[in-house]
Structure formats: structure tokens, C-alpha cells
Amino acid sequence: MRMLMLSLVALLGLAPVAQAADKQDAVPASAFTVPDLPYAYDALNPVIDTETMKLHHDKHHKSYVDNLNTAVHEYKDLQGKSIEQILQVASKQDATVRNNAGGHYNHSLYWTLMAPKGKGGTPSKELLAQINKDFGSLDHFKTQFETAGTRQFGSGWVWLIWNGSKLAIASTPNQDNPLMDDAKVKGFPLMGNDVWEHAYYLKYQNKRADYLHAWWDIVNWNTVNNRFATAQK
């Protein structure tokens, strides 16, 4: 019976039409994907627990990517654009595109900004010199970064950015970031910490400041150094 149906489909010339329809509805080739974690789920213990990493990467980040792909599929003008290009026109997008594009960029960066304790290196000579110049010392910078993260009301991110001539700390609400064309403080993000409760609540509950303070133990300075070097070019 199945063979007969297939023959009929072929005879009637339906197969190519069906294929074309499938192709149109499929996720486009340029679809965004969740990058693999560059370490195991449990690699950041005890600063970030295994369950938080699994939920955060596999569920939260995935949902930003899925929602972004659905939106891009719908909005033809966004197709073929890189995530950075979409962020550059964030002010012209609806909330779905804005939040999910920001969510995808921010999380893709966040995973690379962390490493198992003892594996993340230290600030490069160049970055440290700039931190000393703009914040007085590495300790002063860390304190100001933690304070900005603690003060961000509700969900958001805290950033270290390079604005072309100096370093600055900024915080953004929701999934906004300093690359968005309408960001209050614009610049190239060297480092960003996620202060949404989903990033820390299982272990730290309401103590966001404790999470921000503990986070330094797993910062991947090698990534930050590379981003700083790239931003200088």
C-alpha cells in the first residue's frame, strides 16, 4: 500500500511540491545555534553548581536561540544578518527580537568568560595597566563591578566595556547589552556577568552580591585579554 502511495505521489508530480514546502518551513541555514560549553557542566563548582549550568545553558540559552530563529524566519530583513548586526539595529526591533538577540549574544559570551578555578589566567600586562589607569587598581575595579551588578534593579547584566579610549563599567536591564544602538552606555563588551536570578539562585538564593564576589574565582581572564587586544586593533 505504501509503495502504491509513493508511486501515485511520484506519478502525480506531488513529491517536488511537497519537498519545496518542507524546505520553506524548515529552519533557515543561517539559523543561530547554542554553542557547546567549553568545559563540563560541573567544571565551575563550587562557584556555580552543576544544576544551574545545565538549566542555564541547555534551557535558558536554548530558548533565546529558538525564539530568535523563529523571529528571524518571520522577519525577512533580519535574515543573513550576524548577531552583532541585529544588535546594531536593536532600537528598530520588537521586544521578541531585541530580548532574544541580546540573550543569545550575552550568553554565548558569558560561557567563554568562565573557566575552572585556576585555569582562567590573570589580566594581561596591557589590560592590567589600563585597569590601573581607569580604576586605580584591580581591586577597585572588582569592587565597582560588583557594586554595579548588585545595584542593577531586577534582571540584567553588568559589563566591563572598552569605549575606544578607556574602560568603563556599565549595567543593562533584561538582555540588553552595550552593543545595542540605543544602549545608554555603548562600547565593546570585554566582560559581562549575568545577574538574572536564574544564573545564581539555586546556590546563592537572594544573595546576588555573594555570587558576584565569588565569580572572580572562575573568570577566564584569557578571554578578556584576547577581547581587549582585539578591541585595540
200 binds Mn ion (CB under 5 A): no
Q: How far is the CB of 184 from Mn ion (least distance, A)?
A: 20
* First-residue to last-residue Cα distance in the chain: 66
Region of 86-94, 113-121, 129-137, 192-200 interacting with Mn ion (CB under 5 A): 192-200
CB nearest Mn ion: which residue?
194
* Alpha helices in 113-175, H assignment, sequence order: 125-135, 138-151
Query: How many helical (H) and strand (E) elements, i.e. helices and strands, does the chain have?
Result: 11, 3
Q: Is 146 in the site for Mn ion (CB under 5 A)?
A: no
Choosing from 194, 219, 224, 225, the residue that interacts with Mn ion (CB under 5 A) is 194
Q: Does 196 bind Mn ion (CB under 5 A)?
A: yes
**Long-range contacts of range 12-21, CB-CB < 8 Å, 24 or more positions apart?**
none
Q: Which stretch binds Mn ion (CB under 5 A): 45-53, 64-72, 159-167, 196-204?
A: 196-204
Q: Which helix (H) or strand (E) holds 6?
A: helix 2-11
Please identify, among the stretches 92-100, 147-155, 191-199, 207-215, the one whose residues bind Mn ion according to the rule CB under 5 A: 191-199
Shortest CB 69 distance to Mn ion, Å: 18
SS3 217: helix
> Cα–Cα distances in Å, from 58 out to 33, 34, 64, 187?
11, 8, 11, 29
Q: Which is nearer to Mn ion, 109 or 127 (CB)?
A: 109
- Pick between residue 32 and residue 228 the one whose CB is nearest to Mn ion: 32
Binding mask 71-110 for Mn ion (x = CB under 5 A): ----------------------------------------
Nearer to Mn ion, 146 or 194 (CB): 194
Q: 99 or 225, CB closer to Mn ion?
A: 99
**CB neighbourhood size of 121 (10 A):** 14
Distance separating alpha carbons of residues 225 and 110, to the nearest angstrom = 14
Residue 228's DSSP bridge partners are none
For Mn ion, the binding residues (CB under 5 A) are 194, 196
